[in-house]
Amino acid sequence: MAYKPKVGATMSAPNVIPMADIMLVLLIIMMVITPMLTNHQLVDMPKAKNWENMSPAERDDAVVVAITRDGRYYLGNNEIALSSITSTVEDKMSNKLSKTVYIRSDENAKYGDVKKVVDAVRDAGIDNVGLLTLKDESGAPAPPPNLGGTP
């Protein structure tokens, strides 16, 4: 007569607690990492009908200066003073082959603020300046500008 050990009752439901623990850890990691993935300041860029694709502006090593509607300047994610844009751009562009600086301006930023940044970039010896816009998907033509007459 052969000996047959007794086996306890089999568990019919899987144990999901370790899986839930792992999923919560992954969720926390993603919540911490996701804000770090953006390399530029978020602004509401203006829309343009005649636009050009500037895909090099999306590269990690692209130099992008952002201007917010309240007149603050950012180089990447770091706020920067207007007086230090020229020297910082010179340092960043000194060893690059493509000498293009991209400007990401808010739709409601003052024209004077954008002009100051373009001047600061040009003072750094950069002649290629890209003004980033969004593609205007609407089919309606743009209204003519109001030049001080009656609306």
Residue 121 sits in a domain whose CATH number is: 3.30.420.270
Q: In this structure, is residue 82 part of a structural domain?
A: yes
Model confidence pLDDT, tens digit, residues 126-149: 888 988 888 887 765 555 666 665
* Predicted local confidence at residue 131, as pLDDT: 86
The helix/strand count (H/E) of the chain reads as 3, 7
* Predicted local confidence at residue 15, as pLDDT: 79
Q: In this structure, is residue 34 part of a structural domain?
A: no
Model confidence pLDDT, tens digit, residues 20-48: 899 999 999 998 887 776 666 677 788 88
Report the SS3 class of residue 66: strand
Q: In this structure, is residue 11 part of a structural domain?
A: no
* Predicted local confidence at residue 150, as pLDDT: 55
Element (H, E) at 67: strand 63-67
Number of domains the chain contains? 1
* Predicted local confidence at residue 1, as pLDDT: 62
Taking Cα atoms as reference points, which of 52, 59, 65, 40 lies closest to residue 124?
65
Q: In this structure, is residue 127 part of a structural domain?
A: yes
Q: In this structure, is residue 72 part of a structural domain?
A: yes
What is the amino acid identity at position 31? M
Containing domain of residue 122, as a range? 47-135
Q: With cut-offs at 50, 70 and 90, classify the pLDDT of residue 112.
A: very high
pLDDT at 64 exceeding the cut of 60: yes
Taking Cα atoms as reference points, which of 63, 39, 53 lies closest to residue 124?
63
